[in-house]
Protein backbone atom coordinates (compact mmCIF):
# COMPACT_ATOMS: atom_id res chain seq x y z
CA UNK A 1 0.00 0.00 0.00
CA UNK A 2 2.94 2.31 0.68
CA UNK A 3 4.11 2.09 -2.93
CA UNK A 4 0.57 2.51 -4.24
CA UNK A 5 0.09 5.42 -1.90
CA UNK A 6 3.27 7.11 -3.10
CA UNK A 7 2.23 6.52 -6.74
CA UNK A 8 -1.17 8.04 -6.02
CA UNK A 9 0.46 11.10 -4.46
CA UNK A 10 2.71 11.48 -7.49
CA UNK A 11 -0.26 11.34 -9.88
CA UNK A 12 -2.09 13.89 -7.73
CA UNK A 13 0.91 16.24 -7.78
CA UNK A 14 1.14 15.94 -11.57
CA UNK A 15 -2.58 16.76 -11.92
CA UNK A 16 -2.21 19.76 -9.60
CA UNK A 17 0.84 20.98 -11.52
CA UNK A 18 -1.01 20.76 -14.86
CA UNK A 19 -4.01 22.55 -13.37
CA UNK A 20 -1.76 25.25 -11.93
CA UNK A 21 -0.12 25.84 -15.32
CA UNK A 22 -3.41 26.28 -17.18
CA UNK A 23 -4.81 28.61 -14.50
CA UNK A 24 -1.59 30.62 -13.97
CA UNK A 25 -3.18 33.83 -15.26
CA UNK A 26 -5.54 33.75 -12.28
CA UNK A 27 -3.20 32.96 -9.38
CA UNK A 28 0.25 34.29 -10.40
CA UNK A 29 -0.69 38.00 -10.08
CA UNK A 30 -2.09 37.32 -6.58
CA UNK A 31 1.05 35.53 -5.46
CA UNK A 32 3.77 37.57 -7.18
CA UNK A 33 2.00 40.87 -7.83
CA UNK A 34 2.20 42.89 -11.04
CA UNK A 35 5.91 42.20 -11.46
CA UNK A 36 5.06 38.98 -13.29
CA UNK A 37 4.74 39.60 -17.02
CA UNK A 38 2.36 37.74 -19.26
CA UNK A 39 3.83 34.59 -20.73
CA UNK A 40 4.88 35.26 -24.32
CA UNK A 41 3.34 33.14 -27.03
CA UNK A 42 6.55 33.40 -29.05
CA UNK A 43 7.25 34.84 -32.48
CA UNK A 44 4.14 35.28 -34.56
CA UNK A 45 3.85 36.05 -38.24
CA UNK A 46 0.61 37.72 -39.26
CA UNK A 47 -0.82 38.77 -42.63
CA UNK A 48 -1.10 42.50 -43.19
CA UNK A 49 -4.26 43.82 -41.56
CA UNK A 50 -6.50 46.60 -42.83
CA UNK A 51 -7.67 47.15 -39.25
CA UNK A 52 -4.08 47.51 -37.99
CA UNK A 53 -3.24 49.94 -40.78
CA UNK A 54 -6.33 51.98 -39.93
CA UNK A 55 -5.38 52.15 -36.22
CA UNK A 56 -1.92 53.40 -37.16
CA UNK A 57 -3.35 55.99 -39.55
CA UNK A 58 -5.69 57.23 -36.79
CA UNK A 59 -2.74 57.54 -34.36
CA UNK A 60 -0.76 59.48 -36.97
CA UNK A 61 -3.68 61.88 -37.40
CA UNK A 62 -3.67 62.50 -33.63
CA UNK A 63 0.10 63.05 -33.68
CA UNK A 64 -0.21 65.67 -36.41
CA UNK A 65 -2.68 67.81 -34.47
CA UNK A 66 -1.22 70.97 -32.83
CA UNK A 67 -2.39 69.80 -29.41
CA UNK A 68 -1.82 66.14 -30.12
CA UNK A 69 0.41 63.86 -28.03
CA UNK A 70 4.21 64.07 -28.16
CA UNK A 71 4.37 60.40 -29.13
CA UNK A 72 2.19 57.35 -29.71
CA UNK A 73 3.13 53.74 -29.03
CA UNK A 74 1.47 51.06 -31.10
CA UNK A 75 1.69 47.33 -31.48
CA UNK A 76 4.29 46.20 -33.93
CA UNK A 77 1.64 44.40 -35.96
CA UNK A 78 -0.41 47.57 -36.48
CA UNK A 79 2.54 49.69 -37.63
CA UNK A 80 3.92 46.88 -39.78
CA UNK A 81 0.55 46.56 -41.50
CA UNK A 82 0.51 50.28 -42.28
CA UNK A 83 4.15 50.48 -43.37
CA UNK A 84 4.33 47.32 -45.42
CA UNK A 85 1.09 48.08 -47.22
CA UNK A 86 2.89 51.22 -48.39
CA UNK A 87 6.13 49.37 -49.21
CA UNK A 88 4.23 46.60 -50.99
CA UNK A 89 3.42 49.07 -53.75
CA UNK A 90 7.13 49.16 -54.60
CA UNK A 91 7.42 45.38 -54.86
CA UNK A 92 6.99 43.37 -58.08
CA UNK A 93 3.52 42.23 -59.10
CA UNK A 94 4.58 38.61 -58.52
CA UNK A 95 4.93 39.23 -54.78
CA UNK A 96 2.26 37.50 -52.70
CA UNK A 97 1.52 36.05 -49.25
CA UNK A 98 3.01 39.06 -47.45
CA UNK A 99 3.33 38.68 -43.67
CA UNK A 100 4.88 40.88 -40.99
CA UNK A 101 6.17 40.51 -37.44
CA UNK A 102 8.18 42.43 -34.84
CA UNK A 103 10.85 40.52 -32.95
CA UNK A 104 12.44 42.62 -30.22
CA UNK A 105 13.93 45.72 -31.88
CA UNK A 106 13.60 44.46 -35.45
CA UNK A 107 10.70 44.58 -37.87
CA UNK A 108 10.40 41.74 -40.36
CA UNK A 109 8.47 41.19 -43.57
CA UNK A 110 8.34 38.04 -45.64
CA UNK A 111 6.66 37.19 -48.90
CA UNK A 112 6.85 34.81 -51.81
CA UNK A 113 8.83 36.42 -54.61
CA UNK A 114 9.71 35.26 -58.10
CA UNK A 115 13.49 35.15 -58.04
CA UNK A 116 13.64 36.54 -61.56
CA UNK A 117 12.46 39.81 -59.96
CA UNK A 118 15.62 39.75 -57.85
CA UNK A 119 17.78 39.64 -60.93
CA UNK A 120 17.40 35.87 -61.30
CA UNK A 121 18.92 33.17 -59.14
CA UNK A 122 22.31 34.13 -60.55
CA UNK A 123 22.25 37.24 -58.37
CA UNK A 124 22.50 34.96 -55.33
CA UNK A 125 25.94 33.73 -56.32
CA UNK A 126 26.88 30.21 -55.14
CA UNK A 127 23.51 29.85 -53.38
CA UNK A 128 21.62 29.95 -56.69
CA UNK A 129 21.47 26.19 -57.30
CA UNK A 130 19.55 25.65 -54.06
CA UNK A 131 16.42 27.59 -55.02
CA UNK A 132 13.41 27.25 -57.27
CA UNK A 133 11.66 29.77 -59.48
CA UNK A 134 9.70 31.32 -56.60
CA UNK A 135 10.84 31.38 -52.97
CA UNK A 136 9.95 32.95 -49.65
CA UNK A 137 12.09 36.03 -49.10
CA UNK A 138 12.37 37.65 -45.67
CA UNK A 139 13.59 41.16 -44.86
CA UNK A 140 14.45 42.29 -41.33
CA UNK A 141 15.54 45.71 -40.15
CA UNK A 142 14.40 48.95 -38.59
CA UNK A 143 13.26 52.46 -39.50
CA UNK A 144 15.18 55.70 -39.86
CA UNK A 145 13.64 59.12 -40.40
CA UNK A 146 15.66 60.96 -43.05
CA UNK A 147 13.83 64.27 -43.19
CA UNK A 148 10.28 65.57 -42.75
CA UNK A 149 8.01 63.43 -44.88
CA UNK A 150 10.58 60.73 -45.69
CA UNK A 151 11.88 57.69 -43.81
CA UNK A 152 13.49 54.45 -44.87
CA UNK A 153 13.22 50.84 -43.86
CA UNK A 154 16.84 49.85 -43.35
CA UNK A 155 17.20 46.23 -44.37
CA UNK A 156 19.77 44.61 -42.10
CA UNK A 157 19.09 40.99 -42.99
CA UNK A 158 17.69 39.12 -45.99
CA UNK A 159 16.87 35.43 -46.09
CA UNK A 160 15.83 33.40 -49.10
CA UNK A 161 13.94 30.45 -47.74
CA UNK A 162 15.90 29.95 -44.50
CA UNK A 163 19.37 30.88 -45.76
CA UNK A 164 20.88 34.28 -44.99
CA UNK A 165 22.07 36.34 -47.95
CA UNK A 166 25.57 37.84 -47.51
CA UNK A 167 25.30 41.46 -46.33
CA UNK A 168 27.25 42.69 -49.35
CA UNK A 169 24.52 41.43 -51.70
CA UNK A 170 21.63 43.21 -49.96
CA UNK A 171 21.93 46.56 -51.81
CA UNK A 172 22.12 44.73 -55.13
CA UNK A 173 19.01 42.68 -54.37
CA UNK A 174 17.06 45.77 -53.29
CA UNK A 175 18.04 47.64 -56.44
CA UNK A 176 16.66 44.74 -58.49
CA UNK A 177 13.52 44.46 -56.40
CA UNK A 178 12.58 48.16 -56.31
CA UNK A 179 13.44 49.91 -59.56
CA UNK A 180 11.63 53.18 -58.89
CA UNK A 181 13.83 56.29 -58.52
CA UNK A 182 15.42 56.46 -55.05
CA UNK A 183 15.03 59.76 -53.19
CA UNK A 184 18.24 61.49 -52.20
CA UNK A 185 19.62 60.32 -48.88
CA UNK A 186 18.16 56.80 -48.94
CA UNK A 187 20.89 54.31 -48.00
CA UNK A 188 21.93 51.50 -50.36
CA UNK A 189 20.21 48.98 -48.08
CA UNK A 190 17.12 51.15 -47.51
CA UNK A 191 13.58 51.11 -48.89
CA UNK A 192 12.09 54.64 -49.09
CA UNK A 193 8.92 55.25 -47.11
CA UNK A 194 6.73 58.35 -47.26
CA UNK A 195 5.59 59.39 -43.77
CA UNK A 196 3.56 62.31 -42.37
CA UNK A 197 5.74 65.38 -41.80
CA UNK A 198 4.64 65.34 -38.15
CA UNK A 199 6.71 62.19 -37.44
CA UNK A 200 10.20 63.09 -36.21
CA UNK A 201 11.48 59.71 -35.05
CA UNK A 202 10.53 56.01 -35.07
CA UNK A 203 11.84 53.59 -32.47
CA UNK A 204 11.34 49.83 -32.20
CA UNK A 205 11.70 48.01 -28.87
CA UNK A 206 10.19 44.97 -27.16
CA UNK A 207 7.83 44.26 -30.01
CA UNK A 208 6.26 47.73 -30.00
CA UNK A 209 6.85 50.79 -32.15
CA UNK A 210 6.85 54.39 -30.87
CA UNK A 211 6.29 57.29 -33.24
CA UNK A 212 7.58 60.64 -31.95
CA UNK A 213 6.28 64.02 -32.97
CA UNK A 214 8.70 66.28 -34.81
CA UNK A 215 10.14 69.16 -32.79
CA UNK A 216 10.36 71.47 -35.79
**What pLDDT was estimated at residue 40?**
27
Confidence band for 150, pLDDT divided at 50, 70 and 90: very high
Per residue in 63-119, pLDDT (tens digit) is 999 888 999 998 887 888 888 777 777 777 777 888 888 888 889 888 888 877 766
**What pLDDT was estimated at residue 129?**
61
Chain centroid, CA 55 distance in Å: 16
Residue 165, classed as helix, strand or coil, is: coil
pTM above 0.75, yes or no: no
**What pLDDT was estimated at residue 200?**
94
Q: List, in order, residues 6 or more apart from 17 with CB less than 8 Å away.
A: none
Residue 101, classed as helix, strand or coil, is: strand
Amino acid sequence: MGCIGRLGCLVLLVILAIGGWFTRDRWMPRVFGTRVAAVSSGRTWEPLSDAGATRTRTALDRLSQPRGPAYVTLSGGDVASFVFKELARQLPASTDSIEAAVFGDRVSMRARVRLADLGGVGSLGPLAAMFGEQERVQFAGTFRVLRPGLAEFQVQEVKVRDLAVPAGLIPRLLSQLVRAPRPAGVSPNGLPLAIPRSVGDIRVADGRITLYKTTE
